[in-house]
Amino acid sequence: MQLSLRLGDDQLKFLLLATAATFVLAGLDLVGAYFAKEWVERRDTTMLVAGMVTFGILFVVYGKALQVAELSAVTFGWFVFLTVGILLLERVRYGVELSPGKWVAIVVVVVAQAYLILGGPSKG
């Protein structure tokens, strides 16, 4: 495996764990958001309970993720994957369409967030 030769086993393990954590966090957050939206629209107590359980699990997974990865990296990945997931969910499930200007704003926000989080330490 050429990737492991360049990164080293510890670095590869860290990269895989951090990436998996961000996907799991975003997935749990997306599922919780779906339950919240469905609860608001239908007032179904099952959706309320499912959402509460989902966000409880998310909290535990977030804590575990922070044992193996940096807060900023995990949170940024979670934010990006969640944003994409929410936009797709709204488009597919609820028929929400965004204007091209809003898509540009989304890209600008994600790029700015990446710069703030991943741009390295500031001097000062």
Q: pLDDT digit string (tens) for 20-33?
A: 888 999 999 999 99
Q: What angle do CA 112, 119, 64 make, to 5 degrees?
A: 95
**DSSP tag of 68:** T
- Number of Cβ within 10 Å of residue 33's Cβ equals 18
Residue listed under structure tokens 């091209």: 100
CA-CA distances (angstroms) from residue 109 to 33, 56, 72?
20, 28, 16
Structure pTM? 0.73
What tokens were used for 46? 């099952």
Give the residue extent of every domain in the chain: 2-118
Q: pLDDT digit string (tens) for 67-113?
A: 888 888 788 888 888 988 898 888 888 888 888 898 898 889 888 87
Of 105, 77, 75, 82, the C-alpha closest to 34 is: 82
